[in-house]
Amino acid sequence: MSDTSKDFKSVGLSKPMLENLKSLGYFKMTPIQEKGLPFILSNRDFIGQANTGSGKTAAFALGILAKLDLTNHMPQALVLVPTRELAEQVAGEIRRLGRFTSNIKVLTISGGVEEHHKIKSLRQGAHIVVGTPGRITKLLKTGVLITCDLKVLVLDEADRLLEMGTVAEINHIASFTPTDRQTMLFSATFPNGIKTLSASLQEDAAQVTIDSQHQTGTIKQLFFKVENEKNDALLRLLAHYCPQSCIIFCNSRETCNKVAGLLRTKKIDSLQIHSDLEQQERTLILIKFDNKSCRIMVATDLASRGLDVKNVSMVINYDLPSDHELYVHRIGRTGRAGQEGIALSLYTHQERAILRTIGEYLKIDCATMDLNSLKKFKDIVMRPFMSTIYISGGRKDNIRPGDILGALTKDAGLKPEEVGKIHILEVNSYAAISHDRLEHAIGHLNAGKIKGKKFRVGKA
């Protein structure tokens, strides 16, 4: 296929959609988009097998956005996802891709302290609903979520949905939707349950599989043999490469805590994420990592799939995973959307068999590097680029990123480059601010107003 055909113009998207894609830096389609969008836009039932970071969210989001009737405020698309984090990320990506019109309403339904606000918003109308199966089932049964006008049903991370529930549960949700809907399944792996699910939900589904080798092509993979000097090896890697942003993967929560403690003793700023944390803690950690208020995140495999963290320059496997597919999911956090990334892995003599399995699966030569080729650890300075402020208003207050940016630049007098990413949640918001302007920004926002309203503002 020629390079011209990889342009989004080739699939017949509207001019406003194309202009918005260009403004977001989406110039060429990824393989899943290139092969999948023709089927998706033609209303064909679809199965996409591709790993995290392949661009699958944009593939189904563009299909949904192309079909919306904005004059109808009933839900027209339902996206089922396994976790609350993924619900927020998918909804955020759909909102970005839908910026060509200000009238699209996307709502996440995933429980938590904000649930009553979501129910109120749903009753006021929503074009697209993104949610977890348990909460969606509850709202369907109580009649709060009405899906008689649904055109599209998407199961994202379908393999993980099946790990958490059953085919029967998902079929029960589908039973509330019109039979002539388009159904799309996206999955990193293709267990037998996916085939059963497809048979019950889809008719003549087109299937596209993007192999792992293709997706890891932009990632430089290096392997370092260690024995008892893992901590020293990790510090050497950080000192030598000094990544702009880095996820360090560990196989257990205990190791995660140990590595985070090591970094603290060396005065290296980091955050850690694992299943023991409360949902709000996990959300804030991901926001801080995403907006450059933290450069290193130490994580268990909770973070290797379904968490859409963009622009990760490096992944380090402190522990080599025992499963080759899990390895691909981990390193897929870097080198996304065609960008270059680096994946560094530590392995012991006993783990040589795992290394061989990874090499055979990816059809690569696992290049082993000598740690002595890296400079010795001295002092590592990896200060975050930004700090994060908290604002006690969000989507329920109709706040948009532009409202916060305007309050910071026009009212508080910050330069645009002193303001980083802005995240709007349902009942609160977060903004990244340069360190030396943090107190100034907090003081002005507390004294002033955002969109004509007073909100509490402080350091997150």
Report in angstroms the alpha-carbon separations of 245 from 312, 343, 397, 432: 5, 12, 32, 15
Say how far apart CA 346 and CA 440 lie, in whole Å. Answer: 43
E strand or H helix at 208: strand 206-209
Ranges assigned E (strand) in 234-383: 246-249, 271-273, 296-299, 314-317, 341-347, 368-369
What domains appear along the chain, each with residue ranges and CATH number? 4-210 (3.40.50.300), 213-373 (3.40.50.300), 387-459 (3.30.70.330)
- Under a CB-based contact definition with an 8 Å cutoff, are residues 109 and 145 in contact? yes
Structure tokens that stand for 116 in this block = 């009553």
Of 317, 313, 291, which Cα lies nearest the Cα of 304? 317
- From first to last of its 460 residues, the chain has per-residue pLDDT tens of 344 458 898 998 999 999 999 998 888 898 999 999 999 999 999 999 887 667 899 999 999 999 999 999 999 999 999 888 888 889 989 999 998 887 899 999 876 656 677 778 888 889 999 999 988 999 999 999 999 999 999 999 898 888 777 788 899 999 999 999 999 999 877 777 888 899 999 999 999 998 766 566 688 999 999 987 899 999 999 999 999 999 999 998 899 999 999 999 988 989 998 777 777 888 899 899 999 999 999 998 865 555 667 779 999 999 999 888 788 888 888 887 667 889 999 999 888 899 999 988 888 888 888 888 887 767 777 889 999 999 999 988 989 999 999 999 988 999 999 999 999 988 899 999 999 999 999 999 999 999 889 999 999 8
- Under a CB-based contact definition with an 8 Å cutoff, are residues 196 and 167 in contact? yes
3-class SS at 408?
helix
CA 70 to chain centre: 26
3-class SS at 340?
coil
What was the pLDDT predicted at 226?
92
What was the pLDDT predicted at 111?
66
> Could you tell me where the DSSP H helices lie in 312-427?
324-331, 352-362, 401-406
CA 438 to chain centre: 27
Please state the pTM of the whole predicted model: 0.74
What was the pLDDT predicted at 187?
87
- Under a CB-based contact definition with an 8 Å cutoff, are residues 40 and 178 in contact? no
Structure tokens that stand for 10 in this block = 């080739």
Say how far apart CA 242 and CA 367 lie, in whole Å. Answer: 21
Say how far apart CA 273 and CA 379 lie, in whole Å. Answer: 25
What was the pLDDT predicted at 4?
44
Query: The tokens 């696992």 sit on which residue?
Result: 366
